[in-house]
Amino acid sequence: VYQPITDIQNEQITGFEALSRWSHPERGSISPVEFIALAEETDLIIEVGDLVFSRAIELLSQLPQHVFININVSARQLDDDQFLQRVVDKIKQHGIAPRRLKLEITETMVVDFNKAKQWLVKCREIGFLVCADDFGTGHSGMEQLLELDFDVLKVDQVFVRNMFKDDRYKIIIESIADMAKRLNTKLVAEGVEYEKELQVLQKLGFDFGQGYLFGKPMSEEDAANLF
Ligand code: C2E
Ligand code: CA
Ligand code: CA
């Protein structure tokens, strides 16, 4: 399924995040929180990951050129040397510009810093943008953040959710916004559910927003029909 990512300043949908769902014949819809972790324990995540990329790239070929898709990448996919090449082959096949794919990795995935750095350099050479997912909840320091030089920071939902409950969360969001602006990094807010949250994020100069206020995850068909 595909959840809209909205340009926070003009409130137009400009992209999607691909989110996996498993429709099990007996157990119904199984959450990625369950099956992605299981798939990661085996090499199945490689096949699942390839499938997510294939379908997202096919969807991109039906969407206007300015629309992008964000895809979650697992640590094991980073270890697979052939992974990026397979994605490059697929986008060539469909004539898709690489900048229309944004790869999301979490800071907690970065166990081997040098490897992660090499991977990011390779992505940049190809033209893929790389996002730090769940930003603000990881264990990495500021030096790591600077060295990895992400194109986009996706501020974790927890900050938006608590913005009006606890002033300290708002202070952190404001500081992240200031930092991102000065470092020239794009900013996405996750978990935007209420109009009043949107207003604060607009004032803080966020670039993109994602959350139930803008749209829930939807089928490929519905995503294509939005345009
Ligand atoms: P994530 O990457 O942080 O994705 C955002 C999650 O927040 C999604 O849950 C989404 O449905 C949910 N969400 C979006 N807007 C709102 C909102 O306004 N309020 C609330 N409460 N929740 C919102 P989902 O789809 O269950 O995915 C959970 C996690 O599973 C993802 O977290 C991601 O880490 C992982 N995942 C999903 N698909 C894939 C995949 O294809 N590959 C990999 N490696 N991981 C995936
Ligand atoms: Ca994500
Ligand atoms: Ca996230």
Which residues are 70's β-sheet partners?
17, 102
Residue 176 carries which side chain, given as an amino acid letter?
I
Query: pLDDT value at position 110?
Result: 84
Q: How many CB atoms lie within 10 A of CB 45?
A: 22
Cα–Cα distance, 185 to 187 (Å, whole number): 6
pLDDT at residue 98 in the model: 97
For ligand 3, the distance from its centroid to the CA atom of residue 152, given in whole angstroms, is 12
Tokens of residue 55, six digits: 């379908």
Letter for the amino acid at 135? Answer: F
CB 94 within 8 A of CB 58: yes
**What does the DSSP 8-state code read for residue 152?**
E
- What phi, psi does 96 have (nearest 5°)? -100, 135
Q: What is the largest CA-CA distance in the chain?
A: 51
What number does the ligand 1 atom closest to the CA of 212 have?
18
44-60 and 32-41 are packed helices; what angle lies between their axes, rounded to 10 degrees? 130
Structure tokens at 129: 């943008």
Residues flanking ion ligand 2, Cβ below 5 Å:
72, 104, 133
End-to-end CA distance of the chain: 16
Distance 77 CA to ligand 2 centre (A): 15
Asked if 96 and 60 touch (Cβ cutoff 8 Å), the reply is: yes
Backbone angles phi, psi at 105, to 5 degrees: -125, 150
pLDDT of the chain, 227 residues: tens digit per residue: 999 999 999 999 999 999 999 999 999 989 999 999 999 998 899 999 999 999 999 999 999 999 999 999 998 898 888 999 999 999 999 999 999 999 999 988 888 889 899 999 999 999 999 999 999 998 778 888 889 999 999 999 999 999 999 999 999 999 999 999 999 999 999 999 999 999 999 999 999 999 999 999 999 999 999 99
Q: Helices 44-60 and 83-94, interaxial angle, to 10°? A: 20
Please tell me the distance between residue 93's alpha carbon and the centre of ligand 1 in angstroms: 28
Contact 73/46 with Cβ under 8 angstroms? Answer: no
How far is residue 168's CA from residue 211's CA, in Å, rounded to a whole number? 22
Q: What was the pLDDT predicted at 123?
A: 94
Burial of 152 per CB tally in 10 Å (0-12, 13-18, 19+) = buried
Cβ(140) – ligand 1 distance below 6 Å:
no
The verdict on the CB of residue 211 being under 6 Å from ligand 1 is yes
